[in-house]
Amino acid sequence: MVKPYALLFDHVATRIDPERAHHLGFAGIRAGAPLLSRLPSPGAPVRAMGLEFPNALGLAAGFDKNAVGVDALAGLGFGHVEVGTVTGLAQPGNPAPRLFRLTADRAVLNRMGFNNEGARAVAERLARRAVRRPRGSGPVLGVNIGKSKVVPDDDQRAVEADYERSASLLAPHADYLVVNVSSPNTPGLRSLQAVERLEPLLAHVRRVADRATPGRRVPLLVKIAPDLADDDVLAVADLAVAGRRDEVLDGVIATNTTISREGLRTPAAEVAALGAGGVSGAPLAARAEAVLRLLRGRVGDDLTLVGVGGIDGPEAAAARLAAGADLVQAYTAFVYEGPAWPRRVAGALAGSGDAPA
């Protein structure tokens, strides 16, 4: 039986530029917010980082960059919504076209470049939301912050000041905060994953977040790339363990998009013609799970791990939880499967016995 959304996607959405289709689809979701907000959250609650998540499934950063539809997205069934990536300064991102479907691979290639309205505008929007919806109601809200493109990646002091701008403005509105050092679409950003640069950056963001939220400790996570060598993944794991001990870091999100083009069904010449960018979706699944397993084997049970990358349904989500994730996130499968997908996955996880209690 062909699903209505599959017909719509195959015969309508694929004829529209992917970025325009995203904006149209997201506008439709936001229009349905009054109805969606009345729906009960599916699934079983999960406790992590001192927070209670309505269920184990979250929406990864990148879908709602400017925090314009948090509660509508939660109404679709996501237990947490991670907004951003938000940068200290507003920026347009890379030139279009910059978002491409790889339909044969159930994947997306993007080089968006952290296009967003900037930390101040997003903070003001979240402050207005807080008036309507007090903290503790609705989904868990994550805020993902990254480096502004104009900031030189080789100037550690400037980088820290840029992240400071975002953290100071956004931490008061976040249930948890994520330092993104792993997007392939901001030049030099991934160099910040080197432990000697990452450690002082995370410590600085921790101090800033604590100053911005007196009386409340906002959990801090770091998001890493799947393209790190295994030894570098383990080095990040060791840093995370030390960060947990020093009350700096609470978890790791594994993983961001990949620059690898291996194993794609889409013809290589077609992919090459699309140009640079990170691939998300099904081709990422195996490496994302392998990175997660490496991390869990090294960090033990004390750190929260969020599994993301290629999770395309209940079985994949349950497998990622079994591999060591406390929570899972999705984005690309949501695009391919449609608005009913999150509720179906979250509900199935609750019935599988694989979601952590």
Q: Does the pLDDT of residue 20 top 80, yes or no?
A: yes
CB 278 within 8 A of CB 255: no
Asked about 183 being catalytic, the answer comes back as: yes
pTM above 0.85, yes or no: yes
3-class DSSP assignment, residue 280: strand
In a domain, 91, yes or no: yes
Q: What is the mean pLDDT of residues 164-191?
A: 89
Tell me how far apart the alpha carbons of residues 264 and 267 are, in angstroms, rounded to a whole number.
Answer: 7
In a domain, 357, yes or no: no
Residue carrying the six token digits 């339909």: 103
Q: What pLDDT, in 10s, does the model give residues 47-62?
A: 999 999 999 999 999 9
Q: How confident is the model at residue 191 (pLDDT cuts 50, 70, 90)?
A: confident
Among candidate residues 137, 183, 191, 280, the one labeled active-site is 183
Q: What is the mean pLDDT of residues 335-345?
A: 95
In a domain, 11, yes or no: yes
Q: Would you list which residues are annotated within the binding site for FMN? A: 61-65, 85, 144, 180, 223, 255, 281, 310, 331-332
In a domain, 345, yes or no: yes
Q: Would you list which residues are annotated within the binding site for substrate? A: 65, 110-114, 180, 185, 256-257
Structure confidence at residue 322 (pLDDT): 97
Question: Which residues make Cβ contacts (< 8 Å) with residue 9, sequence separation at least 6?
Answer: 336, 338
Q: In this structure, which amino acid lies at residue 186?
A: T
In a domain, 99, yes or no: yes
In a domain, 207, yes or no: yes
Q: In this structure, which amino acid lies at residue 143?
A: V
Tell me how far apart the alpha carbons of residues 60 and 331 are, in angstroms, rounded to a whole number.
Answer: 6
Question: Which residues make Cβ contacts (< 8 Å) with residue 174, sequence separation at least 6?
Answer: 141, 142, 143, 218
Structure confidence at residue 1 (pLDDT): 53
Q: How confident is the model at residue 13 (pLDDT cuts 50, 70, 90)?
A: low
Q: Does the pLDDT of residue 312 top 60, yes or no?
A: yes
Q: Does the pLDDT of residue 324 top 60, yes or no?
A: yes
In a domain, 294, yes or no: yes
Report percent pLDDT > 90 for the chain.
82
Q: Does the pLDDT of residue 91 top 80, yes or no?
A: yes
In a domain, 96, yes or no: yes
Identify the domain containing residue 303 by its residue range.
4-352
Q: What is the mean pLDDT of residues 146-159?
A: 94
Q: Does the pLDDT of residue 293 top 70, yes or no?
A: yes
Angle of CA points 13, 15, 19, to nearest 5° = 65
- CATH code: domain of residue 166: 3.20.20.70
Q: How many domains does the chain have?
A: 1
Please state whether beta strands 57-59 and 327-330 pair in parallel, antiparallel, or not at all (unpaired): parallel
Tell me how far apart the alpha carbons of residues 298 and 318 are, in angstroms, rounded to a whole number.
Answer: 21
Structure tokens at 175: 């249930």
> Please, how many CA atoms are within 13 Å of residue 219, restricted to the half-sphere of its CB?
20
Q: Would you list which residues are annotated within the binding site? A: 61-65, 85, 110-114, 144, 180, 185, 223, 255-257, 281, 310, 331-332
